[in-house]
Amino acid sequence: GENVEQHPSTLSVQEGDSAVIKCTYSDSASNYFPWYKQELGKRPQLIIDIRSNVGEKKDQRIAVTLNKTAKHFSLHITETQPEDSAVYFCAAKNAGNMLTFGGGTRLMVKP
């Protein structure tokens, strides 16, 4: 089945710096890759997603890139702010049409 690896598990950046979180997946047939942000004690919320017919997608300070050949995708957050502090999960749609989640990255943005 699908396996999704996410790195790093924790990331600490200074406010205003950029943050990059990387995920690799195993199933070359996967074609949908969402990113969820989960603040402490709250629900996961979709922040951006990308489908395999696109190499990059951007929404204000957030961007996702996808390399199908290498089977990895990355989340890029520019000009980080303290409110970006949260746990971020990547996911990939598996053969059963379910999402397989990565292990999560705890992002801490220091003011």
Partner 1 sequence: DAMVIQNPRYQVTQFGKPVTLSCSQTLNHNVMYWYQQKSSQAPKLLFHYYDKDFNNEADTPDNFQSRRPNTSFCFLDIRSPGLGDAAMYLCATSRVTGNEQFFGPGTRLTVL
Binding residues for partner 1, rule: CB under 8 A, are: 32, 34, 36, 38, 42-46, 49, 87, 89, 93, 96-99, 101-104, 106
Q: Which is nearer to partner 1, 93 or 109 (CB)?
A: 93
Residue 84 φ/ψ, nearest 5 degrees: -80, -10
Q: Closest separation between CB of residue 32 and partner 1, Å? A: 6
Q: Closest separation between CB of residue 16 and partner 1, Å? A: 25
Q: How far apart are CA 83 and CA 101, in angstroms?
A: 23
Q: Which is nearer to partner 1, 96 or 111 (CB)?
A: 96
**Cα dihedral 64, 69, 71, 77 in deg (nearest 10):** -20
Q: Closest separation between CB of residue 20 and partner 1, Å? A: 19
Q: Closest separation between CB of residue 29 and partner 1, Å? A: 11
Which regions of 1-111 does DSSP assign to beta strands (E)? 4-7, 10-14, 19-25, 32-38, 45-51, 56-59, 62-67, 72-77, 86-93, 99-101, 105-110
Q: Which is nearer to partner 1, 78 or 106 (CB)?
A: 106
Q: Which is nearer to partner 1, 36 or 77 (CB)?
A: 36
Bridge partner residues of 89 (DSSP): 36
